């Protein structure tokens, strides 16, 4: 029903008028990446499977999930919603087996070798990347030893975002133990590659992503 209403809305607008404003209704209709309930369920299950594989493959591997990375005191943000649903894919036995290695408690990783730790920020998707960029930067400033160990996990992203990562995150920790304000790039993984929509705003990396749980 959401997609039908979306199509009806586009049908009411004149293509020529929209083109004058720099918007292609054809692209908005044909190139949209829509994440419905089934797609969302499949993605969170797939991401959970990926994390379990990492933990099973290496007994020293730890995965730290940044909670409330882009949250708000007033409402549940998309990252919190997504984290809850990924964690729900772990059985009680798995959570017990991975205790201390699959964690949201910073104390579990503070004495660890950074090479054994993955710091994961999650969200359904990103438009400009500004919130995730700020969240990654804040974490690095607080825990510089984990710079270079952060990755971002999305449900959907453009091919360009996946290839290039999230650029211009400030802060870098060198292997010699030195700190600098250089910019670094955080790797981005996504379950789905979004359809290309090249006529759209370049800040969105040429994609138009939306979903039934979180409209854009």
Query: Which candidate, 105, 169, 164, places its Cα nearest to that of 136?
Result: 169
Tell me the HSE value of 56 on the side-chain side, using a 13 A CA sphere: 8
Confidence of residue 64 (pLDDT cuts 50, 70, 90): very high
Q: What is the pTM of this model?
A: 0.80
- What pLDDT is recorded for position 198? 61
Q: What angle do CA 25, 31, 37 make, to 5 degrees?
A: 115
Q: Counting every residue, how long is the chain?
A: 216
> Which DSSP helix (H) or strand (E) runs through 190?
strand 188-193
pLDDT digits (tens, 9 = 90+) for 11-36: 777 665 665 666 667 767 777 888 88
- Residues 185, 190: Cα–Cα separation, whole Å: 16
Decide if 55 contacts 98 (C-beta within 8 A): yes
pLDDT attached to residue 73:
40
Q: Using only C-alpha atoms, what is the Rg of the chain?
A: 19
With beta carbons less than 8 A apart as the criterion, state whether 207 and 33 touch.
Answer: yes
Please, what is the Cα angle at 75 between 143 and 170, to 5 degrees? Answer: 25
pLDDT above 90: residue 93: yes
């Amino acid at each position: 029903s959401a997609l039908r209403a979306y199509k009806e809305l586009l049908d009411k607008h004149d293509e020529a008028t929209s083109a004058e404003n720099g918007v292609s209704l054809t692209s908005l209709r044909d190139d949209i990446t829509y994440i419905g309930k089934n797609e969302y369920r499949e993605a969170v299950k797939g991401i959970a499977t990926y994390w379990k594989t990492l933990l099973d493959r290496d007994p020293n591997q730890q995965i730290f999930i940044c909670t409330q990375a882009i949250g708000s005191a007033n409402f549940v943000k998309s990252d919190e919603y997504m984290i809850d649903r990924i964690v729900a894919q772990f059985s009680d036995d798995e959570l017990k087996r991975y205790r201390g290695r699959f964690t949201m408690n910073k104390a579990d990783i503070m004495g660890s070798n950074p090479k054994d730790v993955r710091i994961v920020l999650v969200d359904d998707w990103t438009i400009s990347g500004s919130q995730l960029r700020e969240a990654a930067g804040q974490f690095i400033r607080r825990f510089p030893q984990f710079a270079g160990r952060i990755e971002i996990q999305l449900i959907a992203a453009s091919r360009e975002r996946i290839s290039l990562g999230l650029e211009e995150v400030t802060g870098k920790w060198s292997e010699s133990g030195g700190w600098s304000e250089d910019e670094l790039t955080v790797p981005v993984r996504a379950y789905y590659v979004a359809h290309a929509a090249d006529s759209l705003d370049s800040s969105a990396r040429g994609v138009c992503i939306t979903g039934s749980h979180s409209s854009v």
